[in-house]
Structure 1
Amino acid sequence: MVSSGSEGGIAFPIPKGMSLSYWMQGVRASPLLDHRTTTDLPETADAVIIGSGMTGTLTAYELLARPNPPKRIIILEAREMCSGATGRNAGHCKPDQYRGFEKYSKLFGPEQAKKLLEHEFVTWSRTVEYICKENVDCELWVGDTLDVAMTAEIASRAAAVYNAYKSYGGNLDNVQYISDPMEAEKVSRLKGAQAVWAWKASTFYPWKLVAHLMNVCLSKGLNLQTWTPVTSITASDTSGLLWNVNTARGRISTPTVVHATNAYASSILPDFAKYIQPTAHMCNKVVPPRAFAGSKALQNSYGVLAPGGLYSINPRCNADGVILFGGSNPNQNQLKAYLDADPNRLFDDRLSNFKPVTDAVEDLTSTAFEGWDDGLPAPGVGPEYSWSGIIGLSADTLPLIGMIPDLPGQWICAGFHGHGMAHIFTCAPGLVTLMQGGTWADTGLPECLELTPERLARARENPNFGNPVV
């Protein structure tokens, strides 16, 4: 059973200051940051969505775009609009096309693993389709992403997973596999590369995509309330309105609540601490030197598979050329140890410039990118800034989507395990389908994503939070 505590959940105090991600630094003049549609908080609503990131905003967009939309939808945001995980990632929308097959097969069986990989490609396609169709100004890049294995052992393991997926019937027509190390080095521009897998992916400015969706929603009557943290949800004694959403600014009575808070879910749903755990993660902004600028700038995004970790690289090919590093690089384990020493740090995104993580980025660029250090150090070149974001680790590595057991009218789409960009553009619409009375089959989503009492029981008995999926 999952409960919505009368006293709220785990204490997630709002930091007095927060680090500004690369994306949030670039929109400091946007009035959406502290937008409040109405001066006072409405007392009632048809639906209240908690969280203004991609999940919450896309949920509102879908509700408003479909027939017979709710007349009064409110989005509550604890801080600035889209200041959570969506506004703090490295901007990489990379659908896994083979790498997760072994892990997902062990957890959910090979058929569900296959469906998950296919689902990620569909999600990526729909994201790009929407951006292009609506001409969203979010610096979209579409091109080849490269998975680069940096040792023979890693290459062998990755090839085994690739071949296992192919043998099971996985569609790998869109994936190019380069097994010759010399060719892998040439294609990837990484010294020591042993193998490369290439397929289509994207990078974009995630905050600006959410801002576009939010503006559409506001034009259709959405009420956005920033700087309004929810403290608890309690049963309502008002006929027909099941829940009171309580905040420091007042309460809203509503029959429908959507939890789109990802890592912060258990702040309102205490039982969800068993299923979704917060942990801070670091991204780095790096200004490339001349050897990787202009006509010599990187032309691919990357997942660099290195001993002890993975570097996710977004070179912003069609924008300013700044290279953003995310992923679970080999020194993220030192960050995890630092966080575990004080549990309050797990959800505190004020952290910036954590030296071991930046050192790992510098190590990769100086040892693997030919000519990177030529002429360095130089003012304005190299690692410039890093910031933290809070990942919602899921107990079985997948997001939880559906109605919360024993809490009729409360819904959740959260726990993206560091891989939300490859899930949300299908998961949020799927949630809306369920909210409107559709079946799980109507969502088109893999069965293993559905929130059920049985799934919660399995996750509770055998939690496997592990490393984020990147």
Structure 2
Amino acid sequence: MSSSQSAGKVAGGVEGGKAFPIAKGMSLSYWLQGVRASPLLDHRTTKELPKAAEVVIIGSGMSGTLTAYELLTRSDPPKSIVILEARELCSGATGRNAGHCKPDQYRGFAKYSKLIGEEQAKKLLEHELETWNRIVEIIKKENIDCDLWVGDTLDVAMSPEVATKTAAVFDAYKAYGGKVDQVKYISDPAEAEKVSRLTGAQALWAWQASTFYPWKLVAHLMNTCLSRGLNLQTWTPATSVTASKTPGLWDINTARGAITTPTVVYATNAYTSSVLPVFAKYIQPTAHMCNKVVPPRAFAGGKALQNSYAVMVAGGGMYTINPRCNADGVILFGGDNPNQPKLKAYLDEDPNRLFDDSLSNFAPVTAAVEDLTSAAFEGWNEGLPAPGIGAEYSWSGIIGLSEDGLPFIGRVPNLPGQWICAGFHGHGMAHIFTCAPGLVTLMQGGTWSDTGLPDCLELTEERLERIVGAPDCAKPVV
């Protein structure tokens, strides 16, 4: 995700995009804190910004880096690729999430069916499983040191109402022909409590998922790209994209000069409209909070949590939990916890806050995390408070909320040579590792069917026209 200091005119007659200034003193996520000595953070391959390149990618998160990786590792790679990053390498959404790669295996079926129909909803869930398999395959094949954990993730319903509604969606997906053999369903509350270790659990669904250190995964791919000739320019915000004096080319304008290219890739997620103003209608930025929590003795050592979670509570809230089982055991909380609406109300008081990732320690969100651990994890509060234990701090990341809840992949309409892979709605880890390769297939002349992606993800003029009046998809899919 790349942020920009200002937005100018984009060729095609669109003007007046919203300016997204870089936040002063951006907060450091758990992931960014752990790599402060990495020279990749502020890497510039060349002292001066190149004047031209065959491909320019805006954004150095998972989407931008994987797009470059796919271009450079396939046959007939571009002669020159430049990645522009507004700040530190991978300091946007990828570097600010809770590290959870959890393919939805049933839960979104009802919502997506209303939006795109049952068949596309089924294909979308199958696509998420394919994405997860691809991530795990690449990490293992390339022996990437990124704290990969593979194990059971648990969807835990914490009230009878939530359990009933969730079971209905699960049954509907199964009845439609959705593959659920890999999902273990426990409907007995006593057994659900025992397996989940959550007091008050009413039911749970379990299947394979992963957690990992996303910044380190991106860094590994970036190093491969650099070894193959990529030019990375950090701290170089793209301020606008304009038609070049030479027909068929684009100028990407920055404070350090302009770079001319026939091919632009927007891997800008929440910040897309800062350089592509027309997308202000389709991708909305909003800050979201994650918490770092150090577990007490009752949940450490041999008693440490051994699963990742989505804890679904009454009222529609949902905590995601990444306990970093095979790493340092720090527990990362994300998701849409019950007090995230209070954060949203705070953000809405000032539009500039929506894309301000210097926000940290928003008390109501942390309080909700503390409420869950105190009430649902038996023995959590024994011996507390104690220095170095509990909710240490939280940080903000900017989610790119897509107007229809799905990412935009493909050619930008009416702007030849411009491509996009953005708008992941808080669920990018379950999409990008198939979406970015699919985008590269299109860039190399392939058809949409060649990508293997669900039709609902393709960026088309028809889709843009349709989703302006789409159902409310404001909540992130975490």
TM-score normalised according to structure 1 size: 0.98
Q: Any residues of structure 2 matched to 1:80-229 within 5 Å, and which?
A: 80-229=88-237
Q: Does 1:256 align with 2:263?
A: yes
1:389 corresponds to which residue? 397
1:302 corresponds to which residue? 309
SS in 2 for 1:299: coil
Aligned residues: 468
Unaligned stretches of 5+ residues in structure 1:
none
CA distance in 1, matches of 2:266, 2:12: 11
* Contact map agreement 1:4 1:232 (CA 8 A) in 2: no
SS in 2 for 1:461: coil
Measured after TM superposition, the shift of residue 463 of structure 1 is: 6.0
Q: Does 1:268 align with 2:275?
A: yes
Q: Of the candidates 383, 393, 400, which is equivalent to residue 375 of structure 1?
A: 383
2:299 corresponds to which residue? 292
Q: Of the candidates 379, 386, 406, which is equivalent to residue 398 of structure 1?
A: 406
Measured after TM superposition, the shift of residue 3 of structure 1 is: 5.9
Measured after TM superposition, the shift of residue 185 of structure 1 is: 0.2
Q: Of the candidates 261, 282, 288, which is equivalent to residue 281 of structure 1?
A: 288
Q: Of the candidates 14, 22, 34, which is equivalent to residue 30 of structure 2?
A: 22
CA distance in 1, matches of 2:329, 2:437: 33
Aligned in 2, Cα 1:59/1:4: closer, same or farther, shift over 3 Å?
farther
CA distance in 1, matches of 2:279, 2:12: 10
Q: Of the candidates 251, 255, 259, which is equivalent to residue 244 of structure 1?
A: 251
2:3 corresponds to which residue? none
1:357 corresponds to which residue? 365
Measured after TM superposition, the shift of residue 16 of structure 1 is: 2.1
- Please provide the CA RMSD for this pair: 1.1
CA distance in 2, matches of 1:352, 1:16: 13
CA distance in 2, matches of 1:433, 1:289: 48
* Contact map agreement 2:115 2:470 (CA 8 A) in 1: no
Q: Aligned letter for 1:289?
A: P
**Greater Cα offset, 125-134 or 460-469:** 460-469
Measured after TM superposition, the shift of residue 398 of structure 1 is: 0.2
CA distance in 2, matches of 1:7, 1:245: 15
CA distance in 1, matches of 2:431, 2:92: 16
1:322 corresponds to which residue? 330
Q: Which runs of 4+ in 1 moved over 2 A?
A: 2-9, 461-465
CA distance in 1, matches of 2:13, 2:367: 42
Measured after TM superposition, the shift of residue 21 of structure 1 is: 0.1
SS in 1 for 2:146: coil
* Contact map agreement 1:4 1:269 (CA 8 A) in 2: no
Q: Of the candidates 442, 445, 448, which is equivalent to residue 437 of structure 1?
A: 445
* Contact map agreement 1:300 1:317 (CA 8 A) in 2: yes
CA distance in 2, matches of 1:3, 1:343: 26
CA distance in 1, matches of 2:449, 2:364: 45
* Contact map agreement 1:8 1:269 (CA 8 A) in 2: no
1:422 corresponds to which residue? 430
**Greater Cα offset, 346-355 or 456-465:** 456-465
* Contact map agreement 1:184 1:195 (CA 8 A) in 2: yes
* Contact map agreement 1:61 1:216 (CA 8 A) in 2: yes
CA distance in 2, matches of 1:269, 1:444: 27
Unaligned stretches of 5+ residues in structure 2:
1-9
Aligned in 2, Cα 1:4/1:38: closer, same or farther, shift over 3 Å?
farther
Measured after TM superposition, the shift of residue 315 of structure 1 is: 0.1
**Greater Cα offset, 422-431 or 456-465:** 456-465
CA distance in 2, matches of 1:35, 1:269: 25
* Contact map agreement 1:20 1:387 (CA 8 A) in 2: yes
Q: Aligned letter for 1:265?
A: T
Q: Any residues of structure 2 matched to 1:41-80 within 5 Å, and which?
A: 41-80=49-88
Aligned in 2, Cα 1:31/1:4: closer, same or farther, shift over 3 Å?
farther
